Amino acid sequence: MPDHTLTGPSGQPRRRSQDWTEATGVDGFLNRSSLKVQGLRAKDYAKPIIGICNNTSDFTRCHLHFDNMVGAVKESILQSGGLPRVFNTMTMGADNTRPMGASFMHRNLLAMEIEQTASIYSMDGIVFLGACDETVPAMLMAAASIDLPAIVLPGGPSLSGFWRGRPVGSGTDFHRALDAQRRGELDEHDITSLEDSLERSPGHCSTMGTAATMTALAEALGMAPAGSAAIPAVDSRRLAMSRDVGEYIMQLVADDRRPADIMTADAFDNAIRLLAAVDGSSAAVMHLLAIAGRLGVDLPLSRFDELSAETPVLLNLRPAGDFYMTDFFEAGGVPALLNAMSPLLHLDAATVTGRTLGDEIAHAHTDDPRVVHSLRDPVAEPRGIAVLFGNIAPDGAIIRTGVASPELLSHRGRAVVFDGRADLDARLYDPDFDIRPDDIIVLRGEGPRGAGMPESGRIPVPQKLLLAGVSDMVRITDSRLGGTVKGTAIVQVSPESSVGGPLGLIRSGDVIVLDVAARRVDVQVSDEELAARRRVADDRPGPSTPARGYARLYAEHVMQANTGCDFDFLVVPSDVPEPARVSAL
């Protein structure tokens, strides 16, 4: 474990904030004066200063309840001898953007904003409040780069809804309803009724989508307290957890224990195994790769396949299963699940509480074996994330097998190719368009450089096929898929077509062969023909770069999905020795 501690003349650990509060000359005068304007006294700002990072807004329903959580954290920090300082950042609400999921490209921007804020203000530690899809990953990326003592406080899931005699939740339930509407089984009044009933409170999606997956993985990484992920957003126990977090961050600062001490290679293995056990969101792969890249932890894409192939599914939660996040909480939450799979974990991994992961979960158990299963009685044999290679995806692609149709995991079909989401929307749903049940939909130009990686892999089956009884098709895209969605989709194809990936060489009518068991996805076109097509493609103008702003920065510097879609200038080079790999401050 690296030794970060600096000591002052008295031999006591020197806090970073003392560089502000004890500075001499004009800088010290202005720093202290600005604190006194807030009514603070010298003995107040002589305490450890704790930043509380909060990105609530009226655009993000996941965070509507954060004010009380912030208040509880502040109160606890004060009682524990610290000085809390709240700061806001840009908002991140995946389900209120256009295109859907456009917030993914802002993950890197949020991480940069937090890093820059922490670099210029007097913080000794940071509490991160996060909930929606890209919020927690961005905060973990920032924590890795800043490497100050830090802790994640998840915002928690919304209460699942209730509609026409049964529970309902984000993703699978409303997609099924929309398909039923297109088959003529439901009308607009029915859909509006479902809209009114789907989510009953603030909080992130009530199914195992990207938000729920990433908060659970924050626990497995050791960066969120055990039991913090699944508490419903409006449950009083979330406020109690918020007070615990105020105490934990003060101890982290006192011990000078930092993210690089906690998010080790073993911790990432634990997180990947939990990802497999919860049958979690495919977007988590890119997020974990990006966090590891900020720390210089060697995490190849193949590691997800290796550990998924050894880890059975133990959580019975939608979209892959039957239950909802509230049920998961009542069944014991993440600690109960980790305890059930403990023989597969590195139990000596550190956590933000100061205890090991094994200590944290030792006494956890499930109160509902229908929801949290055991290794002896799993929900399913290992499936999780499968990593595919082939002449379509030389650097890899992934499929979330738990939400795919088993009969399509070995499939041969005619490619039907679309260049961008607008092209797909304009043609695929035309009743006269030539689309057949066994076809494979290929959507390209939607990857990180081509479009910013929105949720373009969410491709409904055309109505005429739904009416014929087709419920699922194979999709292949260089984009991604929302975590609450069911369907057979090969996503995050690398390299993407916009940087010359072979996905851009496929033509409608080509035959594609998918063999998940063999971890292959290939187009049945000779190498010579692909080379000839590439020569033609190389003579065509490439995609235009955005003219200005963050979109231009993103297009010029974002890396590919197989390495996490972070910026090339923020990843720690593998040849940089420890301890210089971490800490931007």
Give the right CATH number for 387-538 from 3.20.20.370, 1.10.1200.30, 3.40.50.300, 3.50.30.80: 3.50.30.80
Query: In terms of Cα–Cα distance, which of 542, 520, 514 is closest to 445?
Result: 542
Bridge partners, 167 (sequence order): 162
pLDDT value at residue 575: 59
Mean pLDDT of the 40-62 span: 93
Burial label for 251, CB within 10 Å (0-12, 13-18, 19+), is middle
Segment 565-581, tens digit of pLDDT: 999 999 987 655 554 44
- 3-class SS letters over 419-484: ECHHHHHHHCCCCCCCCCCCCEEEEECCCHHHHCCCCCCCCCCCHHHHHCCCCCCEEEECCCCCCC
Q: Looking at residues 544-560, what average pLDDT do you find?
A: 93
Query: What's the pLDDT tens digit per position in 86-113?
Result: 999 998 887 777 777 788 999 999 999 9
Our measurement of the distance from residue 560's CA atom to the centroid of its chain's CA atoms, rounded to an integer in Å, reads 16
With 50 as the cut, is the pLDDT of residue 375 above it? yes
Which of 68-77, 205-214, 538-547 reaches the highest mean pLDDT?
68-77
Query: Tell me: the pLDDT tens digits for 5-23?
Result: 444 444 567 899 999 999 9
Reading the block at residue 1, the tokens are 């474990």
Write the pLDDT tens digit of every residue in 318-374: 999 999 999 999 999 999 999 999 999 999 999 999 999 999 999 999 999 999 999
Place 2 in a pLDDT band, splitting at 50, 70 and 90. Answer: very low
> Of 4-18, 25-39, 539-553, where does mean pLDDT reach its minimum?
4-18
Q: What is the mean pLDDT of the chain?
A: 93
Q: Model confidence over 413-465: pLDDT tens digits?
A: 999 999 999 999 999 999 999 999 999 999 999 999 999 999 998 899 999 99
* pLDDT tier, 231 (very low <50, low <70, confident <90, very high otherwise): very high
Residue 305 tokens, joined:
């396949």
pLDDT of residue 570: 95
Cβ atoms of residues 148 and 42 within 8 Å: no
Query: What whole-number distance in Å separates Cα of residue 246 and Cα of residue 79?
Result: 9
Cβ atoms of 146 and 114 within 8 Å: the answer is yes
Q: Output Rg (C-alpha) for the chain, integer angstroms.
A: 24
CA 70 – CA 85 distance, rounded (Å): 10
Q: Using the 8-state DSSP alphabet, how is residue 370 labeled?
A: T
pLDDT score at 108: 97
Residues 6+ apart with CB under 8 A from 8: 14, 18
Q: Is 66 within 8 Å of 155 (Cβ atoms)?
A: yes
Instruction: Taking residues 253-276, report their average pLDDT.
Output: 98
What's the half-sphere exposure (Cβ side, CA atoms, 13 Å) at 11? 0
**Ranges of each domain in the chain:** 14-45, 387-538
Confidence at residue 579, expressed as pLDDT on a 0 to 100 scale: 44
Residue 544's pLDDT is what?
79
CA distance 338 to 316: 14
Phi-psi region of 20 (alpha: psi -120 to 50; beta: other; left: phi over 0): alpha
CB 555 within 8 A of CB 564: no
What are 415's two structure tokens?
């490619």
Distance (Å, whole) CA 102 – CA 107: 10
What is the bridge-based pairing of β-strands 410-419 and 440-444?
parallel
Token pair of 527 as six digits: 């190498």
The DSSP element (H or E) to which 84 belongs, if any, is strand 83-88
Between 542 and 495, the higher pLDDT residue: 495
CB 312: neighbour CB atoms within 10 A? 21
pLDDT confidence of residue 12? 62
